[in-house]
Structures are given as structure tokens and as C-alpha cells.
Amino acid sequence: MDEATLEFYRRNAQSYAAWAKGPSTRLSGFLGLLPPGASILELGCGAGNHAAEMLARGFVVRATDGSPEMAEIASRRLNHPVATMRFDELDDREAFDGVWASACLLHVPKRELAGILARIHRALKAGGVFYASYKAGEGDGRDSIGRYYNYVSADWLRATYADAGAWQTISFDTNEIKSFDETPATLLHLVMRKA
């Protein structure tokens, strides 16, 4: 992960946690693809809003965030352990039924994304389900408050996933959002199954 971006979340953990929205409407659809009590790895859990819903619905959740400050906030909110872990530290093998990565892999430098996706592929059990979202665009760059984004096209993203393992596409769609810095953006949402 980009060090300046990680430092942003470390310095601004409280304000970002206060801003963070409730669980994504896509979470229910993702959870519906998993068996009851399934094991889920959440990457970049932020304030813990998605993990709270997963836990409430009886899933076994390993919540993680790259910022120790954010992990501490989420752990307190959830009354559940949240590990401090960067994406490149994921080394589990066939351990999870699902991986949830909402608006976090969009901070991975483009040249590193295929390697991170390969780690996620290894961490999933056969047939495991993986959700991630990215900001659409061409060429990487920083937002108005200094966070790095990989800004991807749908075609580039599909090719990068193909380089990282065998996946079956469950869904691929978009929506419009306002970011933490109030800038409008198009998000690409992918739900994939490990083939």
C-alpha cells in the first residue's frame, strides 16, 4: 500500500470513522452467496460497519485494517478483535469462504495489484466468493487530500484479475458516490468466485 495513503488513515482515523457510511447495500447480496456461518476475511475494514453486519448475521469474521489506529477503533466498536494487516502480509491458504474488500484495494499501486489479488485467490477456499470495489478512471493519481488511487478501467481490471488466478465473474456493475473529500466518483464493483 502507498505509505502516504496509509499515513493519511493513521492520522485521520477518528474523523474517517465518524464519516464512514453504514453497510453497503451490496453486502447482503455478497453474504447471500455464502453458507450460514461461513468464514469471511475483511480487508480494509475501516470503522467496522461491514464487519458488524457480518457478525450480527452469524458469520465468522477476521476483520483487518492496515492502520493500527483504525483497527483499534473498529475493535472497540465491534467488541471483536481487528488485526492490523497490510494487504501484502496476507499469507493464508484456502482459509476463507469469502473475502470482502470494500473501497480499499483501490489504494494498491497498479503494478502491485495482481500480486495482491493472487494472495486473495490463495486465501480463498475452492468456490470462495470475493467482493472488491475500485474507482473508475485512467491512470493512477492522488485525490485532493493526498490519498493514492489506482483509477482503473473495467478492461484493465478484468485482465489484472485473469493474471492473478482463475476466477468466475458473478457480477460487475457501477454506481456514483461522493468520496471522503466530497469529490464525485464512479465505483466499479466486482463479485468473483474462485474457480
Cα angle: 40, vertex 9, 67; to 5 degrees: 50
Cα–Cα distance between 119 and 97 in angstroms, integer? Answer: 14
Cα angle: 59, vertex 49, 195; to 5 degrees: 50
Query: What local confidence, expressed as pLDDT, does residue 2 receive?
Result: 87
Residue identified by cell 495482491 is 116
Query: What local confidence, expressed as pLDDT, does residue 183 receive?
Result: 86
pTM for this one?
0.95
Listed as ranges, residues in the chain with pLDDT below 70 are none
Query: What local confidence, expressed as pLDDT, does residue 51 receive?
Result: 97
DSSP reduced 3-state for 61 = strand
Cα–Cα distance between 123 and 95 in angstroms, integer? Answer: 6
Domain ranges of the chain: 3-194
Cα separations in angstroms, 15 against 47, 55, 173, 186: 10, 24, 29, 23
* DSSP annotation of 11: H
Residue identified by cell 453486519 is 53
List, for residues 121-131, the tens digit of each pLDDT value: 999 999 999 99
The letter for the amino acid at 72 is E
List, for residues 18-63, the tens digit of each pLDDT value: 887 777 789 999 999 999 999 999 999 999 999 999 999 999 999 9
| Domain 3-194, CATH | 3.40.50.150
